[in-house]
Structure 1
């Protein structure tokens, strides 16, 4: 099987009332672990890379690894570029084989966001690539994008309706009170806002800042129309802490295959838990 566009996967997820988990991966081992979890649980999967990871690993290496995984796995897999502000980089990724991209212009006025999103949608439509855009400002840090505490802006439901109508964007990430990174306290999610946006917007909605949201709140978000949940920091931290533990327990171990194997198990276990939580197991 080849990499697929995430658009039909997410449309079906919203229609059926479950969520697909999108995992940010930074190494081959992380990618392999979440793919193994998807294959084992029969879950559709979205692999994500940040702009920083694209610069670190290289587009062709990432696409090559994702394509190899898609050929071996018997579940649908999409490859998504997360939070990109650079139109040229988006074009490079689409041409190289990414099947989903996020144009993030949420820091700009509504009109500029509409203009840039529409521009990406026009190109992506011809290539059968999904497009995601954001309205409002999700707090926290995502690579070089930082929204300080108190500067978050929740998405306006009527603006969401207009935005989708004006751009034709097939997936929308509205800011509803979540944040990138690990929460210092209980997330302040505006469930009424999600419900109102979902009532005005037919396209699948995306939940950013999925790391550490209490299980009950995740399930409620999914039930209200969030068809995709991003998990980044939680997965990265679990992978890195496993490596630290391996070095602490066995400081003389110098074979990367040993400590990477342990980290892969940790990532796979977390991926399985998140897929179960969002209800996408058995949906491939």
Structure 2
């Protein structure tokens, strides 16, 4: 379940001009998802927004707040007596600082999307091959 807005551009949808407060989910958002989905199964993932964006940006332009994920876990965990009730997905992870990734994983991220990094790595390989074979 994707909640909040992941900034940037993906699949022709441009969220780059969205108000910055919309780039962050709230404990109430995650609790609503839990209350809606947990009667079906407690095994689901949430892509909560914590300042993440699609694409790669210069360092400092993205204001990731992985500590929000911890606050979501603690907010609902205290009510349910479960340490980490959520399994999170990190959308828009390309170009993120390792320390932010480490924090996010420690707070319950079980899947991370890094499509832009993957595309650049692929392109770099093609370019090296092309230059090596160029006449």
Confirm or deny a common fold (TM above 0.5): yes
Q: Distance in 2 between the 1:193 and 1:159 partners?
A: 12
Q: Distance in 2 between the 1:151 and 1:188 partners?
A: 13
Q: Aligned in 2, Cα 1:191/1:203: closer, same or farther, shift over 3 Å?
A: closer
The number of residue pairs the alignment matches comes to: 120
Task: Compute the displacement of 1:149 (Å).
Answer: 3.7
Task: Compute the displacement of 1:144 (Å).
Answer: 2.3
Q: Deviations over 1:15-65 (max 9, x none)?
A: xxxxxxxxxxxxxxxxxxxxxxxxxxxxxxxxxxxxxxxxxxxxxxxxxxx
Matched, 1:190 2:26: no
2:126 to 235, 243, 257: 243
TM-score when normalising by structure 1: 0.39
Task: Compute the displacement of 1:211 (Å).
Answer: 1.0
Structure that is richer in helix per residue: 1
Task: Compute the displacement of 1:150 (Å).
Answer: 4.0
After TM superposition, the structure 1 stretch with the greater mean CA deviation from structure 2, 174-183 or 142-151, is 142-151
Q: What RMSD, in angstroms, separates the aligned Cα atoms of the two structures? A: 1.9
Matched, 1:141 2:15: no
Q: Deviations over 1:254-275 (max 9, x none)?
A: xxxxxxxxxxxxxxxxxxxxxx
TM-score when normalising by structure 2: 0.78
Matched, 1:181 2:51: no
Matched, 1:162 2:32: yes
* Superposition misfits of 4+ residues, deviation over 3 angstroms: 149-152
Secondary structure, counterpart of 1:190 in structure 2? coil
Contact 1:210 1:230 (C-alpha < 8 Å) held by counterparts: yes
Q: Distance in 2 between the 1:137 and 1:150 partners?
A: 8
Contact 1:198 1:205 (C-alpha < 8 Å) held by counterparts: no
Matched, 1:204 2:87: yes
Secondary structure, counterpart of 2:51 in structure 1? coil
Contact 1:138 1:175 (C-alpha < 8 Å) held by counterparts: yes
Which ranges of structure 1 fall in alignment gaps of 5 or more residues? Answer: 1-132, 253-284
